[in-house]
Structure 1
Amino acid sequence: MISLLEKILAPFLKPMGVSSADLHSYLTAVKGYIYLIVIALVVMIAVLITAHFIKKGWKAFVRIQAVLAFLLVIVVSVNAICYGPLYNNVSGFLNASKVVLADDTVSQSLDTVKKIAEEGMVLLKNDGTLPLGSDKAKLNVFGWDSVNPLLGGTGSSSSNAAAATDILTSLKDAGYETNNDLTQMYKNYRKDRPVLDMQKQDLTLPEPTMDYYTDDIINNAKNFSDTAVIVIGRPGGENYDLPTDMYSVIHGTYNVAKDVSSAPDNYNYLNASYTNNGDYDDFDKGDHYLQLSNTEEKLVDLVCSNFKKVIVVINSTNTMELNWVDKYKQISAVLLAPAPGANGFKALGEILKGTVNPSGRTADTFAKDLLKTPYINNIGNFNYKNVNMMTKSLAKDDGAYQGTMAFLHYVEGIYVGYRFYETAAEEGLINYEDAVQYPFGYGLSYTTFDQSIEDFKASKDSVSFKVKVTNTGKVAGKDAVEVYFTPPYTNGGIEKASVNLIDFGKTKMLEPGASEEVEFTINNEDLASYDSDGIKVKGGGYILEAGEYAISIRSDSHTSIDEKKFTVKNDISYNETSKSTDKVPATNHFQDYSRGDFTQLSRADGFANYNEAIAAPKDSAYEMKDDTKAAVKAITVSDYDSSAYDKDSDKMPVTNADNGLKLSDMAGASYEDKNWDKLLDEMSIKEMNDLINVGGWQTAAVDSIGKIATSDCDGPAGLSNYITGANGTTYPSEVLMAQTWSKDIAVEIGTSMGSEFAAAKNYGWYGPAMNIHRSAFAGRNFEYYSEDPLLSAYIAAGETQGAAQFGVYPYIKHFALNDQETNRCAILLEYASEQAIREIYLKPFEKVVKEYQGKNLAVMSSYVWIGDKPCYANSNLLNSVLRDEWGFQGMVETDYDGSYGYMITDNAIRNGGDLMLGYGSFDSNKLNSESATVVIAMRRACKNILYTIVNSGYYSEGSPIPTENKMDKLFRNINIGAGIIFVAIEALMIALLLKRRKSKTVIIVDKE
């Protein structure tokens, strides 16, 4: 029944933003009422049929009564549903006010978006062709992407881009005339972009074949202008990774598993399709999605053979292979313009013209061959072979996930991105120029700069210095200052990269000859390495090893400009006396179960184990060990036993008390305030249950303490709430934000975006997202900043601080290691050393939590597992590190609660989770209110939720935002109207029946 309804309703609800998972959740929550309505329908039909055999005078009456009774069941059921299991969803939708953002609010956002693009687009190549100036009045613009460019990604980072500025408009606004024959040809070829959503991916690259470029078109183009622009785009999105083998996608055989024998027969892990642009394969065997297609190669050949000057615009948030741009002498300039949001493309024309001087820097390393990266054999799908029966037993009627159980090895350890290439080059493993085309932090300008380190001072605890930046060129511009450190390394000792970003800054606009000094202070403890193997720190911990440290400023990760050195005389361990920013010393919390049984890449002896470490997993890796199997099975839906975790010593807390407190009374109160217990005593079990379980883009109202219902919005690209219909300005991809290398712009992004959230009276923000670009093929890279954790951290910290001014509480996400989309909703056991986890993947979250200036901060956990513990219920992650070590105070929400066979509310709240991003409709959401241990955990989770909400804009100055209950008014009017109609029909039917009976009464008169 539920499945049938899903099939019927899905096509109608999908355009409204209701996903199949949401629909399943809604229908599951109300299945009892659905069965009641079906039974009532069957009874009505039976009565209607039976009425045929009833005495003629009663037929109509019985039939109408049957219909009225059925309608009454529907009305009562709808009321019960809307004021019962779906109350928070329906009330959130009906009570939402139409959001009309003020012109000045939108204008501020658009100015910020344009500024991000101006300072985030990266000039990768330029032989002097750019800027074009005003001399070139006409441009030929090639490439289908030029008429339908990528503005953002899909999924949670999608937003409203209806009125976006496109590439051709940008060029026109800059004063350039573009070849309309080309533009019209592309528009006629295809108007819409292939479908890319969370359920289906059409990866077709719509590029006309060479027969479209007739002699007339090319000759007219050559007469039109001798300068050409080629636009190349690559989309990405949530719920899928980009293919590493496009030939098999075209032929329908693509399987992201490296060992296909480990996967179910004929199972295609990527729900993808591709339509060839001609009667040939658009990709050859061995080609991947981040290379040029055959059609694109022919386009580049065609353009370069007919035009002297060619400018390439790369519209992709995933790092493509771009070594082809150096094979053509005609390609004189390359500009990187990834997903610039609503009006970011306005900057493109201005940069080409020269009215804006580009100052962006790459946020990732551009490798020449992505299939030779150290991660390439260890991304994608790796299914366990010996747990098929167990995975099949996970599903229940509540829609639990019947999917794969898989693993992932983070074999490269800390050597992610440029950390690998710089260190490998230093150790002689690679020739840098052969492997890297554009380094991390690379970018050109229309002017030149000199940088030098001044006033370098090294003290016991820190180093301080100034970087003097001088514009030595002929035009004004901004320059990024990139600060790296090189730690001492002992062969076979604690793993260390030779180059590590430690800080950065950006100058103001400098006129020719002008200078600016950018100041830096770096704490020595921030140069410490994490010793997870206990080489020097027993039990793991941070250590600043004795030796010589170099602080360098670089134009990119590979090119040093100036360098200063200082010496640390003795090892400084932080496992007994913690770092100044930690509440308690960091120690191993993951290593025992996260490390896994695989060879991790090591710098020892010049990366002597490189070939062994980067190889695909061994056959033995596909066999889940018995102890792991037992641990995983115990916390899956089919086998989870909540009572096994109860404590006999726990006493049942007070509920339903009347202490005279309201949530508003706790605004500004410390987390340790004793009144929190009194407030929690007033809540009922049901209220706590609803508050914890019903967190799908909202938090529920709690009448007993006067807590209002609140709304949460996706996502990193700006205000977007499909439940309330609130939409704001579409912001650029986080990649473009990171490419600004500007902390000031990061704060401005948060300020502008936060003002829109506040104007919509929506203070919950599912963002920013700060997972790592471990792989160029990760589909969600557009939603994450960089391969570098520190660059990610500073941009994210600026955004959150800017939004905090408006009372917005960001859910920083996805905590943690959600660095690929393949199997993210499955039981995906990820293995990595604790050093890699802490130094790379947790670092952005750590810095945001520690630097965040405000109480209204939340965290969204990830789907994935660290070893045999799911992140959403990992006490080591959510309590030991996040709360105890970093000092976080606030709520932790899951990623979407689709159950998936392992998302269990009881498990979450016992281990540091607080809020389920769902609707509480699964069996896995049920909580045992008879258990004191469970109720204590419920109170703790509720406190974290309430603490976050009361310190947000929803309780400005301690008072909740007044809201009009439109739902009550609407239902009251409908119910009264329905009642009047029902009574009127009943009265009319009775009157007619009485009249009929009276007319048939026989009166006998006695003649006597």
Structure 2
Amino acid sequence: MLEYFKKRKYKKQEILQRVREDKAKRKERKQEIAALPETDRKAEIESDKLLRKDQKKQRKEELKSLSRKERKVAKKEAKMYKKLRNRPRRFTGWAVFATLLLIIGITVGPTVTSILANVTGKHITIDTTSEEADEAREAADVVSEEIANEGLVLLKNENNSLPLADNKTNVFGSTAFTFKYGGGGSGASDQTRAVSLFDALTNAGVEYNKELYDYYAGLPELEEGTGQSDTGVIQVIKGMLSSDEAEGEPDVTDAAIAQAKQYSENALIIVQSEAVEASDVSLNELKLSDEMRELVEKVAENFSNVTIVVNAGNTLELGFVEEYPSIQSVIWVGTPGPFGTNSLAKALSGELNPSGRITDTYVYDVESSPASENFGDYQYENLDKAYLNYEEGIYIGYRYYETFYQGNEEGYNQTVQFPFGSGLSYTTFDWNIVNQELNSDSIEMQVEVTNTGEVAGKDVVQVYYSAPYTPGGIEKSAINLATFEKTKSLEPGESEVLTIQYDTRDMASYDMENENYILENGTYEIKLGKNVHAIDSTLNFELPEDIVYQSDADTGTEYQNRFTKSENELTVLSRNDLEGTYPSDQDDSKVASDKVIERVQEHNYDDDVEMPTTDADNGLILEDLKGLDYDDPLWDEFLDQMTVDQMIEYVSEAAYHTIEIDELGIPNTVLMDGPAGFSFFFKQFEAGAYPTEIVMASTWNKDLAYEMGEAIGQEAKACGIHGWYAPALNVHRSPQGGRNFEYMSEDPVLNGMIGSGMAKGAQDQGVTVFMKHFIMNEQETNARSGLLVWSNEQAMREIHLRPFEMTVKKGDVTGAMSSFSFIDGKWANPELLNGMLRDEWGFEGVVSSDAVFGFMEAPQAITSGNDLMLDILTAPNQKQLLEEAYKEHPEAITVGLRNSMHNALYATLKTHIFN
């Protein structure tokens, strides 16, 4: 055995050396191409692409000529090469975290005390043992299972193979023993009450082959993971330290197959991916491992009714299900929380009729999206920062596939396996538009949905629009989600009339040249779809003249381009020339301009502001301001009472809590993760646990999203929690995103509608909702080192900002969490946090940083619109930075501190503390 590992290690080192050599050659080639004139550069890039294509074809032919044994060895070596080449940087950021912890722990006494307080949760005083807390968790469990029930998606069901006719099945694979209930990191939740798959099958009356179970359970390398729940930080460390090589799938013997065939012709296999905060997912992890493919092939060849269960928060390649006729059904469960196994088992038995819809486009090749061309590790040569180019513009997910393949159905079908919004049912539905009112103010219709099948079920009516497009004009996707509604459970023959409405201006596009939104004249096609590609009916809305929107409908703030100060322009994908503008990281300029360097390194303090009053004796306490508007004059009198030291302490010491200032009636508050139920990054405690956000979104049920937020808010009140670091509203830019399980979908409108429902439910219970991560936090690689993210204003507004805007306006949030990203060259960009969030959208409340790293400094934060520092490691250092900045810029710092206190305390007054 030792000899085997020595050989494998040697082989790995040999291949790693090849990877390094090939990378060096590619770098040299890039430099050669970069030195060419513009006209020659494109031709050389295209030539290299063709060469790589020919080489790939040649390698395939060479493989065919090898013996089976040689082919297997060659495939393993090729797999190892690819994994080493594509391996994400796993230690960036979190390794800095650990290193800083070690260094500070040795050298700085006061900081050690601060760190220990944050890590041990000493400052967090919650009661999870009360009768009210027990009742809240029981209510949470009910909502959790309801979400799992409605979030389950039936993607394939040939010959009505599900529900199972004989309620017996064989469960193959080690994955059944390591079911993924959630993701890892701050988005993890308490899984101590999780139901194992086998218990769930029994509960639903589905018999499983116990001899096959015993075969797997007896394997020494297998350990069932039900109910095991590490803390978030442990999950992150495990994710960083783990290899991106998939665990080997144990072989199943011919005898076990023979016994299973006698038991039942039904078989079930679970396919999974690992995902955790701080690590992105490698391309290989989105595909079947060789061992898992061998298992699928063996089972598919021996059983006539095979079900594949997709237990993953990332979009996997599922093309293999079409290679085997016996794979009759595919069920997507995502990462469905502690009771998701119950939902799966009930769907198999027929007790549950699936009604979920997928929230991403499933394609045969996950690298086929333009965003995948710019995902990973990109470093500037002349600036100590990483960068990421969003060259896909607005064409993320279905917006790309539906636009690029418009009019090319054959090409579309060869590329897209399951379109965005796909999902089947055990029954059938008919739709009938019984009324419509389409005008320049609103699009409204009543749709009668009738269950025409034989069992009860729910349906989702998805409404899309296609706007008139002028080649060379403003970029527009061929189709966009406008809104959706879900029916109640309809019995056979029963009907329900859904009222569907949205504002006509929601179809407007952002015009970067004129700095406004515009509805261009022409025909707007309003489409009712079973999914984005299967359109049931279309209504035409004619707009005779352009409608230009110069200002925000709610605040009246005039629109303007807010993210162009760095003058860092990209070549962004254009519908007018999809092939010519298709993204590539081959011709990136890795040299930051002088303007970009200046933006990153400098911070401007406004020293012309008037010095506010401090330490006044006005006899006010915080409760005296309850119910007052944000701009009520009494706020000035209250804030005049605070000292600079008090304010510095308050904004610096804000990791998972805020401090008490007793003499002013300011209470301490407890602020907790996470999007799938309350959790603390460093310490476990019992709490309600929900499916991850991708499953919540796959319900397509806005009312259920509100119920989840409401249940979380009720638990918060029962336990003494006042702020919730959620919901997470970033989009699935790429299937590789390490936190895709924690985010909802590839579509901003779906994110905004589900996210605002969750937010509103919790806010209505008196909880400060910190929507996050504001904005463009869709990659973990380099994120915690301060990642410069580049896009254009239209894509930012229509895609990345849209769900946050909807949540501010529909969810009435009083909190936000800024991201790690440098937007337009700035972390804590004032145009984002003040200009966009507060001025344009009308947000009133508090902005917290995400966990603080070296590039995140309090003086920059509080003078740019970021109010609280979620600083686990170096809160004393943040205080020192503020004290030093105050000596140099007393007016600017005092005004910044005062604004931060105003924002934070306004949000605190809205919490259940003051109810």
Q: TM-score when scaled to structure 1? A: 0.77
Note if contact 1:139-1:229 (Cα within 8 Å) is conserved in structure 2: yes
Q: Does 1:303 align with 2:321?
A: no
Note if contact 2:845-2:907 (Cα within 8 Å) is conserved in structure 1: yes
**Any idea what the Cα deviations from partners look like across 1:683-702, whole Å, max 9, x if unmatched?**
12111001111111111111
Note if contact 2:447-2:497 (Cα within 8 Å) is conserved in structure 1: yes
1:653 positional shift? 2.0
Match of 1:598 in 2: 570
Match of 1:861 in 2: 818
Alpha carbons of structure 1 residues 308 and 98: separation in structure 2 relative to 1, 3 Å = closer
3-state SS, counterpart of residue 656 of structure 1: coil
Q: Distance in 2 between matches of 1:94 and 1:798?
A: 27
Q: Which amino acid in structure 2 is aligned with residue 602 of structure 1?
A: S
| Pick aligned residue for 1:483 from 454, 463, 470 | 463
Alpha carbons of structure 1 residues 34 and 603: separation in structure 2 relative to 1, 3 Å = closer
Alpha carbons of structure 1 residues 28 and 954: separation in structure 2 relative to 1, 3 Å = farther
Return the index of the structure with the highest Cα Rg.
Answer: 1
Match of 1:7 in 2: none
Match of 2:891 in 1: 932
Match of 1:564 in 2: 539
**Any idea what the Cα deviations from partners look like across 1:813-854, whole Å, max 9, x if unmatched?**
00000011111112321111100000000000000101124x
Match of 2:277 in 1: 238
1:567 positional shift? 1.1
**Unmatched segments (≥5 aa) in structure 1:** 1-17, 36-80, 245-287, 392-404, 636-643, 957-1008
Match of 1:74 in 2: none
| Number of corresponding residues | 804
Q: Distance in 2 between matches of 1:95 and 1:377?
A: 46
- The 5 Å alignment of 1:573-584 reads 573-575=548-550, 578-584=551-557
Alpha carbons of structure 1 residues 29 and 126: separation in structure 2 relative to 1, 3 Å = same
Match of 1:907 in 2: 860
Alpha carbons of structure 1 residues 158 and 589: separation in structure 2 relative to 1, 3 Å = same
- The 5 Å alignment of 1:713-752 reads 713-721=672-680, 726-752=685-711
- The 5 Å alignment of 1:626-775 reads 626-635=594-603, 645-647=605-607, 649-721=608-680, 726-775=685-734
Match of 2:583 in 1: 614
1:23 positional shift? 9.1
Match of 1:228 in 2: 267
Alpha carbons of structure 1 residues 733 and 95: separation in structure 2 relative to 1, 3 Å = closer
Note if contact 1:143-1:230 (Cα within 8 Å) is conserved in structure 2: yes
Q: Which amino acid in structure 1 is aligned with residue 558 of structure 2?
A: P
**Any idea what the Cα deviations from partners look like across 1:91-124, whole Å, max 9, x if unmatched?**
8447544544544322211111111111111000
Q: Does 1:820 align with 2:779?
A: yes
Match of 1:124 in 2: 155
Alpha carbons of structure 1 residues 707 and 725: separation in structure 2 relative to 1, 3 Å = farther
Note if contact 2:185-2:235 (Cα within 8 Å) is conserved in structure 1: no
Match of 2:561 in 1: 588
Q: Which amino acid in structure 2 is aligned with residue 764 of structure 1?
A: G
Match of 2:25 in 1: none
Q: Does 1:884 align with 2:839?
A: yes
1:951 positional shift? 1.2
**Any idea what the Cα deviations from partners look like across 1:248-273, whole Å, max 9, x if unmatched?**
xxxxxxxxxxxxxxxxxxxxxxxxxx
Q: Does 1:355 align with 2:373?
A: no
Match of 2:429 in 1: 449
Alpha carbons of structure 1 residues 692 and 407: separation in structure 2 relative to 1, 3 Å = same
1:148 positional shift? 1.3
1:617 positional shift? 4.2
Alpha carbons of structure 1 residues 128 and 104: separation in structure 2 relative to 1, 3 Å = farther
Note if contact 2:266-2:306 (Cα within 8 Å) is conserved in structure 1: yes
Alpha carbons of structure 1 residues 793 and 96: separation in structure 2 relative to 1, 3 Å = closer
3-state SS, counterpart of residue 837 of structure 1: helix
Match of 2:249 in 1: 208
Note if contact 2:265-2:305 (Cα within 8 Å) is conserved in structure 1: yes
Alpha carbons of structure 1 residues 196 and 93: separation in structure 2 relative to 1, 3 Å = closer
| Pick aligned residue for 1:624 from 592, 596, 610 | 592
3-state SS, counterpart of residue 929 of structure 1: helix
Q: Which amino acid in structure 2 is aligned with residue 832 of structure 1?
A: S
3-state SS, counterpart of residue 825 of structure 1: helix
- The 5 Å alignment of 1:954-965 reads 954-956=913-915
Q: Which amino acid in structure 2 is aligned with residue 890 of structure 1?
A: G
Q: Distance in 2 between matches of 1:406 and 1:23?
A: 20
Q: Distance in 2 between matches of 1:818 and 1:142?
A: 37
Match of 1:346 in 2: 342
Q: Distance in 2 between matches of 1:664 and 1:725?
A: 33
Match of 1:788 in 2: 747
Match of 2:205 in 1: 175
Match of 1:260 in 2: none
Match of 2:56 in 1: none
Q: Which amino acid in structure 1 is aligned with residue 187 of structure 2?
A: S
Q: Does 1:874 align with 2:845?
A: no
Note if contact 1:88-1:700 (Cα within 8 Å) is conserved in structure 2: no
1:609 positional shift? 4.2
Alpha carbons of structure 1 residues 734 and 480: separation in structure 2 relative to 1, 3 Å = same
| Pick aligned residue for 1:836 from 774, 788, 795 | 795
Match of 2:472 in 1: 492
1:90 positional shift? 7.6
Note if contact 1:342-1:729 (Cα within 8 Å) is conserved in structure 2: no
Match of 1:806 in 2: 765
Match of 2:87 in 1: none
Q: Which amino acid in structure 2 is aligned with residue 613 of structure 1?
A: Y
1:22 positional shift? 7.9
1:497 positional shift? 0.8
1:448 positional shift? 0.6
**Any idea what the Cα deviations from partners look like across 1:393-452, whole Å, max 9, x if unmatched?**
xxxxxxxxxxxx111111111111111111112165981101100000000000111113
3-state SS, counterpart of residue 305 of structure 1: helix
Q: Distance in 2 between matches of 1:668 and 1:91?
A: 32
Alpha carbons of structure 1 residues 94 and 418: separation in structure 2 relative to 1, 3 Å = closer
Note if contact 1:140-1:221 (Cα within 8 Å) is conserved in structure 2: yes
**% identical equivalent positions:** 37
Q: Distance in 1 between matches of 2:351 and 2:675?
A: 29
Q: Distance in 1 between matches of 2:486 and 2:267?
A: 32
Note if contact 2:570-2:791 (Cα within 8 Å) is conserved in structure 1: no
Note if contact 1:92-1:723 (Cα within 8 Å) is conserved in structure 2: no
**Any idea what the Cα deviations from partners look like across 1:949-975, whole Å, max 9, x if unmatched?**
11111222xxxxxxxxxxxxxxxxxxx
Alpha carbons of structure 1 residues 353 and 98: separation in structure 2 relative to 1, 3 Å = closer
1:202 positional shift? 3.9
| Pick aligned residue for 1:114 from 127, 135, 145 | 145
Alpha carbons of structure 1 residues 34 and 725: separation in structure 2 relative to 1, 3 Å = same
**Any idea what the Cα deviations from partners look like across 1:695-735, whole Å, max 9, x if unmatched?**
11111111331211111111001011357854312211111
Q: Distance in 2 between matches of 1:739 and 1:845?
A: 19
| Pick aligned residue for 1:191 from 223, 227, 232 | 223
Note if contact 2:185-2:681 (Cα within 8 Å) is conserved in structure 1: no
Q: Which amino acid in structure 2 is aligned with residue 146 of structure 1?
A: A
Q: Which amino acid in structure 2 is aligned with residue 926 of structure 1?
A: L
Note if contact 1:743-1:795 (Cα within 8 Å) is conserved in structure 2: yes
Note if contact 1:683-1:704 (Cα within 8 Å) is conserved in structure 2: no
Note if contact 2:374-2:388 (Cα within 8 Å) is conserved in structure 1: yes
3-state SS, counterpart of residue 468 of structure 1: strand
Q: Does 1:325 align with 2:282?
A: no
**Any idea what the Cα deviations from partners look like across 1:747-778, whole Å, max 9, x if unmatched?**
11111122112111102101010100010010
3-state SS, counterpart of residue 783 of structure 2: coil
- The 5 Å alignment of 1:149-168 reads 149-168=179-198
3-state SS, counterpart of residue 922 of structure 1: helix
Alpha carbons of structure 1 residues 922 and 22: separation in structure 2 relative to 1, 3 Å = farther
Alpha carbons of structure 1 residues 769 and 95: separation in structure 2 relative to 1, 3 Å = closer
Q: Distance in 1 between matches of 2:850 and 2:713?
A: 22
Note if contact 2:120-2:683 (Cα within 8 Å) is conserved in structure 1: no
1:524 positional shift? 1.4
